[in-house]
Structure 1
Amino acid sequence: EFGETRRGWLGVRIQDLTDDLAEGFGLDSTEGALVNSVQEGPAKEGGMLDGDIIVNFDGKPVADTRGLVRSVANSPVGESVRVIVLREGKSMTLKVILGRREDAEKAVQTSAEEPEKAPALVTKDVLGLTLSALTDELREQLGLDAEQEGLVVTDVDDTAEAYEKGLRAGDLITEAGQEKITSIEDLDTRLAEVKDAGRKSLLLLVRRDGDPRFVALSLAE
């Protein structure tokens, strides 16, 4: 009808839930699509957040990322759809007006924020990772934008679970326990909170070359 492709677009990056990720989120099932990044677009305007787990899209259960991608792509552009997500263990229904993927793929986003002064270098060894607070020097070495915050992985014990799950030096950890972290102190606080809550693992949001993914690391000594 339009003489061109008009695929629906939600504006999120997603990943499948594994058993350990499900445990980290306090879930009994791995069904759904885990949102690891909400971009500027329909989902953000509809109130979706990083860490939401999409379990139903437009009345259809979401088993995994493949099913969600297919459902979104086959939905009409401009249509308002109900999206059910799990957030902190509770079910929420969001209304999202789907955008057009082709328009999103052409969009170029820029940022002109002023850089903030980086904290003093502080390192910590935890869960097989050597972590460092961000400095201007590290930002330059890793090609990170001034507005990016988190802890940098400077080394990984190759016998640790973190190495097995793909973490490497140069990765940027921006969240721990579903809370943003900008310092070693933030990480220590998140670790204490998840241990006090009886969790068996710590959820980390890890970015490499700008691409995010959630990783769950066991807290077992």
Structure 2
Amino acid sequence: MILDQVEILSRLILAILLGGLVGWERESHSRPAGFRTNVLVCLGSALIMIVSIKFYTLFQASRTNDPGRIAAQVVSGIGFLGAGTIIREGFSVKGLTTAAGLWAVAGVGLAVGAGFYFSSISATVLIIITLTILSIIERNIVQNGGEEALRIKAYDQPGQIGKIGSALGDYDVQIIDVSIDHIDNEPNIYINLRVRLPADFEYSQVISHLTQTDGVIQVELKDNSS
């Protein structure tokens, strides 16, 4: 396969467009790897695949020459970049979806670089569907399962989490995960809770009860998307 300059440029531009589509979705949700990151991953992967193909055409006489050897390093190397988007928050881990998205975008870039246009475009569409439509379905499943995320603003004083836990226990609300945010030069703390609600749960009553708890300033629902 001989790649001329127009074909190479076309593949690189397509990689930018496809990576940008996925990056735009991630950017709109303020994820660690946003628009530019996804564009660069897809573009870089496409370039590496093009270089691999060019090497193969230049050194076809060599039995050890394999166009997939250089490209294969993208699959393993993207793991280091993906690991940087994974964040541990309290007892939970966030950023796995973004890391998996980067890995998938790298695959799209390799496909574009190899000239597999139908595969790369189809994969991009499916990636975006996974990150949008399936995300909505996932949130509905979580909500139907009786789980909610709460963010509580409270005074920074001893035993505060215990008081909140006791208030939730009065309504048989189970705490699944908890983390605390400290803001510089602010005397308050922000407690993030992921809770499982009983079948007869009435959110307004619990909010009212938590607000009246000593030391609690504000209670609000937190976006549970990932």
Which category describes the TM-score, using the shorter chain as reference length? under 0.3
Give TM-score, length-normalised by structure 1: 0.25
Give TM-score, length-normalised by structure 2: 0.25
State which structure, 1 or 2, has the greater radius of gyration over its C-alpha atoms.
2
Q: Which has the higher helix share?
A: 2
